[in-house]
Amino acid sequence: MSSRILIEDATLVTMDENDGVIDSGNLLIEDNIIKSIFTAAEDTPGDVKVIPGEGKVVIPGLINLHNHAAMTLFRSYADDYPLMEWLTKKIFPAEARLTEADVYWGTSLALLEMIRGGTTTFVDMYYFMEQTARACQEGGIRAMLSQVFIGTEGCSEGFNTFEDAIKFIENWQGQDEGRIQTILGPHALYTCPPDFLKKVLKETEHLNTIIHIHLSESKFEVEESIKNFNKTPVALMDELGMFERQVIAGHCVHLNDEDIDILSKKGVGISHNPCSNLKLGNGIAPLQKLIDHGACVGLGTDGAASNNNLDMFEEIKLCSLLQKGTLEDPTAVPAKTAFELATRGGARALGMEGHLGVIREGAKADLAILDFKKPHLQPHNDPIANLVYSASASDVETVIVDGKILYNKGEFLTLDEERIYHEADKCAKKLRQ
Ligand SMILES: [Zn+2]
């Protein structure tokens, strides 16, 4: 028998082609799909769970395009270091001590935080990815998972090889009723030389999967690439033919005009991660310029070690304010555009436009409901501006993924919150030593 949920009399921020907002709208979910949206009273089937929507705003579930979920264990573990020192002196040595259990509990903690904050889909890259997949399966979230690997000696090598990453894809692709999708995650150009990336590209074609990689994150990375290959990382990726495949590129901060042109023309999915870029002192990506060129951009948090939370509402607000401030232009990245990046933009980058990041009939029932009866979200002048400039993750009241309620009014329905805090803390304590 079908399961049905009816959200009654709510404000629906659809983010469809018209960027529409429907006041006093009703939304019927049947199984994992948005079955219908209507305003006039309609006969609803008897066996339906009703969620009263008065004073509530329903949004498409947010899409976090770049994360390392298990790094919640390193939240507030190493702050205020330069990027390369942070990586080589603090993060890589700690990661060398990681066990499968650490990744499982670290990811579970990230899932609590993401679900609690209205994120319904995330893209991840990390070690022991089967543990991340296990946690996602239990939590019920939608995930695009890549087991990270590198092609050079050193760094935190020794954990997962390219072959392990392929095995992970073979074992997990499409699991959990399709909520778990698997992708290939070569770490970055500075850890994966061109010849190795050619091998990766071949495998990507063979597995018919997409690529998730860090790209042009720091000035150092770009300078090294120019020194070694006489090309920017973006131009090098293009020359290697990587952009003939679907790519999700994390960061893309340091770009010249030619890079922006390549990324836009090739439809590369860019994860803009403003908090992490600021915190690691990497600068501010030319977001408005990318948007002007029609680039495919979404938002991500990056790992909690460099953020230090997984709150997508912060990224949404920050991405807009940073452009306004740096360009000295208050019209830069307006509210609708910023919110679109975290919803429809993310879906586009994943090749899931029309199915995720939107409220429309036939789309996946991945939704978040926010309680707007709060001082900072009143009055009701413009719900999208309120979502972008005034709301935060803690305003989320209910989260639905694939038609299932995962979180409602302070209660997690799939995850054991207390146990996760306890176990994650134990793991973090051990890793600190
Ligand atoms: Zn990253």
Q: Please, what are the averages of pLDDT over each run of 10 residues along the chain (433 residues)?
A: 92 89 96 94 80 97 98 95 86 92 98 98 97 98 95 60 93 96 95 94 94 96 97 98 97 98 98 97 97 98 97 98 98 98 98 97 98 97 97 98 98 98 97 85
Dist. CA 31 → ligand 1 center (Å): 34
Instruction: State in Å: Cα 339 to ligand 1 middle.
Output: 22
| pLDDT the model gives residue 250 | 98
Cα separation, 61 vs 22, in Å, equals 17
Please tell me the distance between residue 68's alpha carbon and the centre of ligand 1 in angstroms: 6
- For ligand 1, a single-atom ion, the residues with CB < 5 A are 250, 302
312/314 Cα distance (integer angstroms): 5
Which pLDDT belongs to residue 159?
64
What per-residue confidence (pLDDT) applies to 433? 77
Cβ–Cβ under 8 Å, residues 271 and 299:
yes
Q: How far, in Å, is the centroid of ligand 1 from the Cα of 150?
A: 14
284 CA → ligand 1 middle, Å: 15
CA of 273 to the centre of ligand 1 (A): 9
Domains belonging to the chain, first-starting first, are 4-61+363-412 (2.30.40.10), 62-349 (3.20.20.140)
What is the length of the chain? 433
Which residues are within 8 A (CB) of 119 and not within 5 positions of it... i.e. 6 or more apart?
Answer: 61, 62, 63, 64, 141, 310, 312
Distance from Cα 204 to the centre of ligand 1, integer Å: 20
> According to the model, what pLDDT value does residue 19 have?
65
Q: How far is the CA of 90 from the centre of ligand 1 (A)?
A: 15
Other C-beta atoms lying within 10 Å of the C-beta of residue 17:
10
Give the pLDDT of residue 20: 84
Q: What's the 171 CA to ligand 1 centre distance in angstroms?
A: 24
Distance 189 CA to ligand 1 centre (A): 13
Q: How many angstroms is it from 5 CA to the middle of ligand 1?
A: 36
